Amino acid sequence: MEVLAAIVILSIIFVGIMTIFPQMTQFNAKTGTKLDTMNLARHEVAEVVAGDKWNSLLVPDYLAITKISQEMTALGYQLKTTNPDFLRFEKQGDYRYETDIYLKCQTDSATLTQCEVTDKIKLYKVHLKVYGGSQLSSETYSYIPYRVESSGE
């Protein structure tokens, strides 16, 4: 009788432990997907902001918007939204990439005076999101440097 009771108790414990394994497998799969999309987001934002393509970027006006659109199109993006504050681009593949480039000057300080100074390097903020299906899977931020040309040039 004691052996039978011990077997029943061990069976209950064993069944309880076995129900954890499928949940752990599902959690590991989600974690792996999240890590993959984080790496994809980092790689994609590095391609967006990398290189010499932004060296000729002018002040944030229609010329800069045209240059940004050309460079993003060359990377396989399509312009989806124009707004006075940002441009939104989208790229389809195994995942959907959505990239917002904010057109307002970003600086390290809280004052806007640095944005008004010419011949200084300024920054456009880039917000890249990676979607798996319709669900946001990962996102990252970076900056595109640009130089404001003085009016005397």
pTM attached to this predicted model: 0.70
Distance of CA 92 to the CA centre of its chain: 14
Question: What gap in Å lies between CA 40 and CA 44, rounded to an integer?
Answer: 6
| Pairwise pLDDT comparison (124 vs 62), residue with the higher score | 124
Residue 14, amino acid: F
The predicted structure's pLDDT at residue 119: 55
Q: What is the tens place of the pLDDT at every residue in 56-65?
A: 665 545 567 7
The Cα-based distances of 68 to 16, 21, 53, 85, 98 in angstroms read 57, 49, 9, 14, 15
Region 30-54: mean pLDDT is 84
- What token pair was written down for 140? 């990252």
Q: What is the tens place of the pLDDT at every residue in 56-104?
A: 665 545 567 788 888 899 889 999 988 888 899 999 988 899 999 988 7
* CB count in 10 Å sphere of residue 6: 10
The predicted structure's pLDDT at residue 115: 61
The predicted structure's pLDDT at residue 152: 44
